[in-house]
Structure 1
Amino acid sequence: MSGTPDRISLAARLRNNFLTGLIICAPVVITSWLIWTFIHWADSWVKPYIPLHYNPEEYFQFAIPGLGLLIAVVFITLIGLLGSNLFGQWVVTFTESILNRTPLVRPIYKGVKQIFETVLKENTQSFRTVGLIEFPGPGTYALVFISAEAKGELAVRFNELGQEMIAVFLPPTPVPTAGFLLFVPREKVIILDMSPEDAAKLLISGGLVNPEVKDRLIGAKDEKDAKP
Structure 2
Amino acid sequence: MTALRKWLFAGLLVLVPLIVTLWVLDWVVGTLDQTLNILPTSWRPDAWLGVHVPGLGVLFALVIVLSIGALASNIIGNKLVHWWHALLHRIPVVRSIYSGVKQVSDTLFSEKGNAFRKALLVQWPHEGMWTIAFLTGSPQGDLLDQLQARPGSATPEDEFLSVYVPTTPNPTGGYFVLLRARDCVELAMSVDEALTYIVSMGVIVPGGSRNPKIQLAADSATETQP
Per-residue displacement from partner, 1:114-160 (whole Å, max 9, x unpaired)? Answer: 22222222243321211222222222222211111112332232233
Which residue pairs with 2:127 in the alignment? 138
Contact 1:43–1:68, Cα closer than 8 Å, also in 2:
yes
1:182 alignment partner in structure 2: 177
2:104 is matched with 115
State whether structure 2 residue 192 is matched by structure 1 residue 197: yes
Greater displacement, 162-171 / 106-115: 106-115
Structure 1 residue aligned with 2:215? none
Alpha-carbon separation, structure 2, partners of 1:55 and 1:49: 9
Q: Are 2:106 and 2:113, in contact at CA under 8 Å, matched by a contact in 1?
A: no
Q: Structure 2: which 5+ residue stretches go unaligned?
A: 151-155, 209-226
Asked if 1:23 is matched to 2:13, the reply is yes
2:161 match: secondary structure: strand
**Partner deviation per Cα, 1:45-71 (whole Å, 9 max, x = no partner):** x13322111101123333221222221
- C-alpha displacement of 1:189: 1.4
Asked whether 1:211 is paired with 2:206, we answer yes
Aligned equivalents of 2:192, 2:169: Cα separation in 1? 14
Is the radius of gyration larger for structure 1 or structure 2?
1
Distance 1:121 1:84 in 2: 13
Determine helix, strand or coil for the equivalent of 2:92.
coil
Is residue 38 of structure 1 aligned with residue 33 of structure 2? Answer: no
RMSD after superposition: 2.1
Q: How does 1:121-160 map to 2 (within 5 A)?
A: 121-160=110-149
- Number of equivalenced pairs: 202
Aligned partner of 1:5 in structure 2 is none
Give the secondary structure class of the aligned counterpart of 2:119.
strand
2:169–2:199 CA contact under 8 A, matched in 1: yes
Query: SS of the counterpart of 1:131?
Result: strand
Question: Counterpart in 1 of 2:40?
Answer: 51
Give the TM-score taking structure 1 as reference length. Answer: 0.79
Residue pair 2:115, 2:136 contacting (<8 A) in 1 also:
yes
What are the superposed Cα offsets for residues 178-226 of structure 1, whole Å, 9 maximum, x if unpaired? 211111111211222222112111221122212238xxxxxxxxxxxxx
Which blocks of at least 5 consecutive residues in structure 1 are unaligned?
Answer: 1-10, 214-228
Counterparts of 2:100 and 2:37 in 1: how far apart (Å)?
A: 28
Asked whether the equivalents of residues 170 and 199 of structure 2 are also in contact (C-alpha less than 8 Å), the reply is yes
TM-aligned CA distance change 1:86 to 1:186, over 3 Å: closer
**Counterpart amino acid of residue 178 in structure 1:** G
Q: Which one has more relative contact order, counting CA pairs under 8 Å at least 6 apart? A: 2
2:222 is matched with: none
- Correspondence 1:164 to 2:159: yes
CA-CA distance at 1:20 after TM superposition: 3.2
| Structure 1 residue 42: Cα displacement | 1.9
Partner of 2:63: 74
Q: How far apart, in 1, do the equivalents of 2:8 and 2:197 lie?
A: 24
